[in-house]
Structure 1
Amino acid sequence: MSNSVTLANAKLTGVGAYLPQKIVTNDELATRIDTSDEWIRTRTGIRQRHLASEEETSVFMAKKAALAALDYAQLKPEDIDGIIVATSTPDQVFPSVAVRVQAELGMTQGFGFDLSAACSGFIFALSTANNFIKARQAERILVIGVEVFSRLLDWSDRTTCVLFGDGAGAVILEANAKKGEGLLSTKLHSDGRYGDILYVDGAAGNSDSKAKLKMNGREVFRHAVTHLADAVEEALSEQGLTGADIHWLVPHQANQRIIDGVARKLQLDANQVVVTVDRHANTSAASIPLALSEAVKDGRIKKGDLILMEALGGGLTWGSALLRF
């Protein structure tokens, strides 16, 4: 292909979300473990989280978010060419969550696969879907982030169990964004030397799994501040933009202090940052699409707005995405 040919980025045409019915507050957790609402809120910004029931599996929640995104975009399952699911908590080692959702939606065409990049998974999945579309291998792709982290937590460890929640978020990417619109840039990184500061000691996100999440919170925080700032700057500079051009920051919802730090570096006002960590806690790969869906559906994010998304997760993995909505 000639170097003069520029392939169009994907545009975002659908958003959807699903949160489990059960809400657990900090005060409720304090009746089970040695913690308090004040201790959790001052360190993380979290007030509550949604926890999945036995019936609310990764496939169940992913399907619900997918249906909501299809409804928003006024599309049917047969209009979709592929499904990419970002998750660290599949219901089974295989088949993937994606092909289970494909079957649940009644799709017999296209492809489906899961992608594992921990809390950065949604950014990685967005980039992957965008490249499929730019390469003209698909016209429409459903990108889903879903997690049931509650099944990976040691509920006696107050340093980790208070941080996470469950949920699913979905978007639809379509071909033929106009010049200057759609996914303008995605930047992906990983550094396996730091794999032991945030990991799960085992596999599979089902309720019978013995796998438990382990984290060195201090080290994760240190790397997050540095790497996220670099990824954000990288995405903006490639497009000749600065923080002043951003309408909305939609960050991974891990910790309010990290979110505030990135916003300060971009010189953004607090009202330009979409925050759900207080109500959702850290839903890993689901956190960005959950926040994005909320801000689109409540009218904050409008057509033409420039949106910056960023995340860091176990691996370490990190990345950013710049989207003109």
Structure 2
Amino acid sequence: MSGQAPPTAWGIHGLGVHIPDRCVGNAEIAEQYGVEPAWIERMTGITQRHCAEPAQATSDLALAAAEQALADAQLSARDIDVILLATSTPDQLAVATACRVQHQLGADRAWATDVGGACAGFLYALKLAHDVLAASCPGGRALVIGAEVFSKFQNPGDRSTGVLFADGAGAVVVGPAPAGRGILCSTQGTDGGLADIVGIRAGGSARPASELTVTEGGHYLHMNGKAVTAYFHEIFPQVVARLTQLSGLNLDQIDLVIPHQANPRMLRTLGAELGISTSQLVVTADTFGNTGAASIPMALHAARSQGRLKPQSTVLHAAVGAGMSWAGSVQRWL
């Protein structure tokens, strides 16, 4: 960057995705949860989802998506300055999954860490990448990954999570962008008073692993579906309204709305209520399920593959995750 003014905008230069090979249709799991396959589709909109193999960890999916994103951006791993990996299903406690990805990529110039936020985690990581580059690494590059292996934390007797959550990974490369392009604005928030309505209760310092926590199923993902749905319906419209205010754009000036892929039926219903047209709304959870922090980059990749995401498309993202945490951003595609 010698002799040049530092950049004032940052955007996405490369996209990558990894979808596990194993596809699980509704018929395969319906009997397990005591329902008909048609009930799953009717209640959620999901027809199938993908699950990792027993030997695959979150880092394996993240690595594959990251390699694709780097190739798409025409960069090498050594061009990356920071790696941020959003996940609720890390390889293990105490060691950031991002560290394993950094090593396996050969990104030896980059520092790496994980980001929480559950389903909002990717947008948290995207905001952090933007701010880190702007504050301390002008001209640098960040690798932002969302990756989940929810299948390994599914309670085989809990249909509220078992039919909904799935596995996958998506990654983006963030770097300098022309003024007026890239990430235009973002917003974030948390309501910690609702921290217990969805998550994995045991395995941390509050409830370390024990015979009791295993017997009680504390290491499985749990969710109060009614409470989560109510919160989503309350917060999602507020995030959309805040983003249109911050960006100075009306909703009809947004080309694509790519939210975290919670429940496709709910997304379509709420989108219609807010005036988001079917041509604007991107929904991929019908065939991928809810892949948490991975769902937005996976949906971005799908939208581009379908020809819906084009240069200078204006894209709004909104996500609501465990915590309860929420985040949103507007970007003008490079």
TM-score, normalization: structure 1? 0.93
Matches within 5 A, 1:276-295: 276-295=284-303
In structure 2, distance between residues paired with 1:55 and 1:41: 29
Instruction: Report if the CA contact (8 A) 2:121-2:146 is conserved.
Output: yes
Q: Which amino acid aligns with 1:117?
A: G
In structure 2, distance between residues paired with 1:146 and 1:201: 20
Q: Which amino acid aligns with 1:319?
A: A
SS of structure 1 residue aligned to 2:34? coil
Task: Go from structure 1 to structure 2 and tell me whether the alpha carbon gap of 1:255 and 1:242 turns closer, same or farther (over 3 Å shift).
Answer: same
1:99 aligns with 2:99: yes
Instruction: Report if the CA contact (8 A) 1:189-1:319 is conserved.
Output: yes
Instruction: Report if the CA contact (8 A) 2:30-2:40 is conserved.
Output: no
Matches within 5 A, 1:85-96: 85-96=85-96
In structure 1, distance between residues paired with 2:270 and 2:130: 25
> Superposition RMSD on alpha carbons, in Å?
1.8
In structure 1, distance between residues paired with 2:223 and 2:193: 15
CA-to-aligned-CA distance 1:69-116 (integer Å, 9 cap, x gap): 011111110111110000011111132111100100112112000011
Q: Which residue of 1 aligns with 2:186?
A: 186
Q: Which residue of 1 aligns with 2:172?
A: 171
CA-to-aligned-CA distance 1:155-213 (integer Å, 9 cap, x gap): 111122111100100011002x2222100111111001111211211248xxx996111
Q: Which residue of 1 aligns with 2:33?
A: 33
Q: Which residue of 2 aligns with 1:54?
A: 54
Per-residue deviation at 1:7? 6.7
Gaps of 5+ in 1: none
In structure 1, distance between residues paired with 2:302 and 2:78: 26
In structure 2, distance between residues paired with 1:188 and 1:86: 15
Moved more, 21-30 or 130-139: 130-139
1:322 aligns with 2:323: no
Per-residue deviation at 1:242? 1.2
In structure 1, distance between residues paired with 2:252 and 2:45: 26
Instruction: Report if the CA contact (8 A) 1:7-1:135 is conserved.
Output: no
1:273 aligns with 2:281: yes
Task: Go from structure 1 to structure 2 and tell me whether the alpha carbon gap of 1:104 and 1:68 turns closer, same or farther (over 3 Å shift).
Answer: same
In structure 2, distance between residues paired with 1:7 and 1:233: 28
Q: How many residues align?
A: 317
Moved more, 75-84 or 291-300: 291-300
Instruction: Report if the CA contact (8 A) 2:264-2:284 is conserved.
Output: no
1:64 aligns with 2:60: no
In structure 2, distance between residues paired with 1:184 and 1:6: 17
SS of structure 2 residue aligned to 1:135? helix
SS of structure 2 residue aligned to 1:271? coil
Q: Which residue of 1 aligns with 2:237?
A: 229
Instruction: Report if the CA contact (8 A) 1:87-1:147 is conserved.
Output: yes
1:45 aligns with 2:45: yes
Gaps of 5+ in 2: 205-213
In structure 1, distance between residues paired with 2:20 and 2:218: 22
Moved over 4 A (4+): none
Q: Which amino acid aligns with 2:49?
A: R
Q: Which amino acid aligns with 1:107?
A: A
Moved more, 6-15 or 120-129: 6-15
In structure 1, distance between residues paired with 2:33 and 2:234: 32
Q: Which residue of 2 aligns with 1:115?
A: 115
CA-to-aligned-CA distance 1:6-43 (integer Å, 9 cap, x gap): 97231110000001111111011023230122111111
Q: Which residue of 1 aligns with 2:152?
A: 151
Identity of aligned residues (%): 38
Task: Go from structure 1 to structure 2 and tell me whether the alpha carbon gap of 1:187 and 1:261 turns closer, same or farther (over 3 Å shift).
Answer: farther
TM-score, normalization: structure 2? 0.91
Q: Which residue of 2 aligns with 1:306?
A: 314
In structure 2, distance between residues paired with 1:81 and 1:225: 38
Q: Which residue of 2 aligns with 1:260?
A: 268
SS of structure 1 residue aligned to 2:9? coil
